[in-house]
Chains A and B, each alone.
Chain A
Amino acid sequence: MQKRTKIFPKHTAASYQGDVVTAIVNPEELAQKQIFLILVPPANMRQRNIELIKEISTLGYHMVVITTNFPYSVLIKLYSDSGIDLNKVSFIDTVTRNSIGNAENIPRVVRYVNNPANLTDLGIAVTEVLKENAGEKVCILFDSISTMLIYLSSSNISKFIHFVTNKLRLMDISGVFLAAEKGLDPMFVSQLTTFVDRVIDQDNSGG
């Protein structure tokens, strides 16, 4: 069991390296396979997603992105435009099949789940994608808890996050959960903080 060093509620990226903001998550903590909850201003959610993927994949991690908002086909364009090596990213897409219905899985690239409320299929997809990438340095990015709240109660999401974080710990994999800051009630945040090692509230970092 990893030692948990939790800073809550406020912890900014800037605090890691003096006044120079160079990292959203601390590479050392990432290397320790820690799990992060990052609270982001809603308007910056996409940008922060891209920055995180870029930052973490540059550190040699294979990123598994669970997307509940933008489809895989759009995200790869945005990532590519930002200079992210797409070979280092695979997706669990809960958006596309909801619209076009018949999207086919592409092994090690994208796995589709019918809709974000289907936690059983989502759980299976997470397990299988992690197995596909077993032996690699993997980091999972869940974008986002806030969108999941449209479809599921906080208690169901909480159980799901618990399931995923347990799986990550058992497989010794780091993870990042994104959520809109000020969008979660204190009780829910408090539950989530028990599952993660560090909460990073970006409210103070100037977005």
Chain B
Amino acid sequence: MTETSGDESECIEAGILENALVLIAVLDKKGRIFEWNHAAENITGYAKADVIGNTNIWKYIYPDKDYRQGLTAKIAEILATKNHFENLETTIKTRSGASRIILWNTKEIQWYGESKAIAVGIDITREKEMDAFGRSIIDNANVLMAVMAPKGKVLLWNKGAELITGYSRDDVVGNSTIWKHLYPDAEYRSTITRQITGIISEQRYFENLVTMIVTKTGERRIISWNTRQIEASGGYNEIAVGRDITEQRHAEEALLAYISEMAMRLKNPVEIIRDNLQEIAALVKEGKLTKEEMVTMLEGQVRNAKQVAANVLEFQKAIAEKNKDIPEAYRSFLSG
């Protein structure tokens, strides 16, 4: 390996400085800029000529006086205990007026024989936006979302979870007690736990597992759960998505009850009428009925048949009313 000369070394450092994809500035303790790389120009919109040799850049990128003073105080506080800071996140205003989020790290260096600080700023605007977007999706999703560490400790509890269960993020995150609240019946909780453990041990996730939870207000809700394992440092976490299907279940039960009711009141009566008519025919053949009795019995079956027809119409109307998507022509037909 060949050794590089001092000039070569300076050349390499200058090349790195200029071509780095992160904002790099060299400044003194008063904030006066000595170096301002190409990425710094690109990110902030301010050219080297605008900033070198003065402290104006801080007023440019932090135009809000209160924000700037707050930031200065924070930096002073950090530097009072150590000569650098790490991962300090600030929001700058670029020359074009756009806001960018910069993650700053500094280090004390010797710069041409003098003590200076080198500040490295990473533009994390896009990551932050993506994080915010992800958080927004999680928070605005109309489902319960929870991320759990092994043994059920809750790491994330979204707004949907708060709305469905009544338990706030503060109540839940950082512990595993929520499951006792949601499943207060020890026997039921134990059954669910066994079921989940069994499924997870076989396939590491479960789909559409339906459980009944008890909310903070004591209401019972039916939740359909789906889970996935997600990699976390040193192991796996579980992400659980719970859909509140209470209303859907009630609607399904109501529909089933309605269909069942109508089956009882349609199919069965038609069979009754059929059997009655057969019996009437047999009695007539045997000469056991007077004309009046025959009329009474036949009229009875006519009445039964009329009522069955009325029941069918009632059923059709109910279907037409319940299903808004039925085309008008069919709706009109069903409504009789």
Residue of B nearest to A153 (CB): B261
Chain A residues within 8 Å of B307, by CB: 150-151
Chain A residues within 8 Å of B260, by CB: 185, 187
A123 contacts chain B at the CB level, 8 A cutoff = no
A73 touches B268 (CB 8 A): no
- Chief secondary structure at chain B's binding surface: helix
Q: How far is the CA of A185 from the CA of B266 in the complex (A)?
A: 12
Instruction: Tell me the chain A residues, 165-207 only, with Cβ under 8 Å from chain B.
Output: 180, 183-185, 187-188
Query: Which segment, of A8-16, A56-64, A96-104, A131-139, faces chain B?
Result: A96-104
Chain A residues within 8 Å of B261, by CB: 153-154, 185
Instruction: Tell me the chain A residues, 26-69 only, with Cβ under 8 Å from chain B.
Output: 42-43, 45-46, 69
A74 contacts chain B at the CB level, 8 A cutoff = yes
Q: How far is the CA of A73 from the CA of B264 in the complex (A)?
A: 29
Chain A residues within 8 Å of B303, by CB: 98-99
Chain B residues within 8 Å of A183, by CB: 264, 267-268, 271
For residue B11, give the distance in angstroms from its CB to the closest CB of chain A: 88
Chain B residues within 8 Å of A74, by CB: 283, 288-289, 293, 296-297
Chain A residues within 8 Å of B289, by CB: 74
Residue of B nearest to A94 (CB): B300
Q: How far is the CA of A65 from the CA of B300 in the complex (A)?
A: 18
B279 contacts chain A at the CB level, 8 A cutoff = yes
How extensive is the interface on chain A, given as a class?
Answer: 20 to 34
Q: How far is the CA of A69 from the CA of B304 in the complex (A)?
A: 9
How many residue pairs bridge A and B at CB < 8 Å?
84
Residue of A nearest to B257 (CB): A187
B300 touches A150 (CB 8 A): no
B13 contacts chain A at the CB level, 8 A cutoff = no
B185 contacts chain A at the CB level, 8 A cutoff = no
A42 touches B300 (CB 8 A): no
A150 touches B296 (CB 8 A): no
Contact of B272 among A73, A77, A147, A188 (CB under 8 A): A147
B175 contacts chain A at the CB level, 8 A cutoff = no
Question: With A98-B300, A150-B308, A151-B307 given, is the CB distance from A185 to B264 under 8 Å?
Answer: yes
A90 contacts chain B at the CB level, 8 A cutoff = no
Give the number of residues in B that approach A within 8 Å (Cβ atoms): 31
Residue of A nearest to B294 (CB): A74
Chain B residues within 8 Å of A69, by CB: 272, 276, 300
For residue A45, give the distance in angstroms from its CB to the closest CB of chain B: 7
B137 contacts chain A at the CB level, 8 A cutoff = no
- Chief secondary structure at chain A's binding surface: helix
Q: How far is the CA of A10 from the CA of B264 in the complex (A)?
A: 20
- A74, A147, A154, A184: most-surrounded residue (chain B CB, <10 A): A74
- B265, B290, B292: most-surrounded residue (chain A CB, <10 A): B265
B166 contacts chain A at the CB level, 8 A cutoff = no
Instruction: Tell me the chain A residues, 127-169 only, with Cβ under 8 Å from chain B.
Output: 146-147, 149-151, 153-154
Chain A residues within 8 Å of B272, by CB: 42, 69, 146-147, 150, 180
Question: With A73-B296, A74-B289 given, is the CB distance from A45 to B275 under 8 Å?
Answer: yes
Residue of A nearest to B260 (CB): A185
Residue of A nearest to B300 (CB): A95
Q: How far is the CA of A183 from the CA of B289 in the complex (A)?
A: 29
Chain B residues within 8 Å of A45, by CB: 275
B129 contacts chain A at the CB level, 8 A cutoff = no
Chain B residues within 8 Å of A78, by CB: 288
Chain A residues within 8 Å of B276, by CB: 69-70
Contact of B292 among A98, A100, A151 (CB under 8 A): A100
B299 contacts chain A at the CB level, 8 A cutoff = yes
Which B residues are within 8 Å of any A CB, using their own CB?
257, 260-261, 263-265, 267-269, 271-272, 275-276, 278-279, 283, 288-290, 292-293, 295-297, 299-300, 303-304, 307-308, 311
6 closest Cβ pairs, A-B complex = A183-B268, A185-B260, A150-B269, A99-B299, A99-B296, A150-B307
